[in-house]
Chain A
Amino acid sequence: MTSPALTLAVPASSRRRRARMGQWQGLLYIAPAMALVIVFFVIPVLFTFWMSFHDWPLLGQPEWIGLGNYVRLLTDTRFLSSLRFTAYYTVITTIAIFVVAFPLAIFVEKQRRGVGFYRTVFFMPVVVGLATASLLWVWLANVDSGLIGPAIRMMGFAGKKVNLLATFDSAFWTIIVMVVWKVAGFTMIILLTGLQSIPVELNEAARIDGAGSWQRFRHLTLPLMRRTIALALILSVTGSVLAFDQFYIMTSGGPQNRMISVVYYIFNQSFVSFHLGYGSALSIALLGILIVLSVVQLRLLRVGDDK
């Protein structure tokens, strides 16, 4: 904290005082960040937690009902089906993102001509907001005036008009493609940093040891990228579990309301039906689920026990 040069000459008592002052200084430095976290995260979470034990209508008096909301959500079939859908979506998106992002990362890691251009192009969709991207793809997928449907028709793959957002499967895959397009660049950059942190000599040593490119990937690259993969995985899973914009904007919950994600359901309960207490309980439950998922992922990838 204080520099050794300063502390050397001063007597013990004043050194202690200085150390105490240093601690206060440290607190001072993190105070702005702490304030933001407390105001925008800790207090809302605590308040949500508090609300979740109430029947809390928009107007009128909240009423304490203890664990009532939590008991209710355990048997709420619409909640459970939104959970199932979110899980399905999360698994598919995460796999799709990694399948696309890993080869991209390997591609842009090699020193080749125009690599800066490729990195930029692949990363570009990331800077588009998710809502904006959703709107863009709603247009791309439009039956008449869009790009994809008419293009499929023009190339002769389909006889009649193609409405991508009309059936569950085609709408679901359109959203997956949109999300991968939007997010893969970000995952690519994360994975790229992991790839770049592996010393070149390790791969050379493995080449001399007779490991082919797949074996080097399997025995060297993957294990050495464990932390990076964990980070990319947790970000991808968390992002998918919290998915909302794309379903709200692109399909409004989808054909037969089959595309209601958990957050979408919480939104409906809280701000459409105004069951604020129940919405809070659902949010807290979702927070718990996310924490469990993250811990499980860290465990599975054994992050932290390197030595």
Chain B
Amino acid sequence: MKYFKIQATRNAARYKIDNKIFDNVTQRKLPFEQRNSQGKLSQYAICPSCLNPIQLIGLSHEIKVSPHGKHTGKNIAGLPQWNAQRYKYCPFASHKEYQKPNDEELLQEVDQSVIELYDLMRSQFDKVVYVIQNTLHIKCSDNFWANALQSYIINRVYLYPWLSEVNLPYIFAYRGMQHMRCFGQQFEIDSEIYNALAKLKNVKFEKTNINSQYAILRNSYGCYLNLLFRFSDHQQNAVCGEQLIETMMFCVDDADNGKTVFEQKISFDETYFMNTVRSKRAVHYRNNRLLDIAAEKMLPLL
């Protein structure tokens, strides 16, 4: 991995693994730098994904490897207790122990991490929607998002073991928007998805006067449009133990004949969502209608 945290929370900042940054952020205080019984100094931090203790390798120049983090696999004084259950869902876990994403598996208990991600969704639902709309080149109605959120809650996607603050908007779409209708939603003109749908028989795009870059998907008169969003194949690949590549397939199916009419691989942006959450820029003004929907639908866990 190439990032570390110094607090074991979902919201905690991620820092690049680098000698200067480590020095700045931790000032080499305990428990982040410790000496073993032989007097050898080691640097520790927290895995940004599974929140387990990691040892930072290659910070000093004595070994010629690019700086990276390695799970300790055991308890380290002053750092969170080693959690083997969480480790197996960590994309940076060893290949032998890593459990790949699948749609059936859910965590059995509501732990602190689950609560933090649930609260993050509730307090930042407008920004979750902002990120996913920009990623998919669509704009959907509040009613659509209320229903996607309903589905997210009913299916207890907040217990999806691979959920993190990085992939929250993407996994929200992955499970929440599953099999929802495209009809009546807005698509960005000239985007791949727009062009694929515009070619279809019975599809009509209507320009709006709200936003000139988007058009609403309508049916031609007398023809029922049965186009549905579909997501599949969530994958995590920690390339060379460093950069995390997370992807899913984004498709539109025609449920009348079972054909897939659009297909695109979506790569998750590792920093987009949390940067948007922290951003004070005016473009990220809060959408109170969406926040009200989240407050109403997401009752406190426990």
Partners in one complex: no
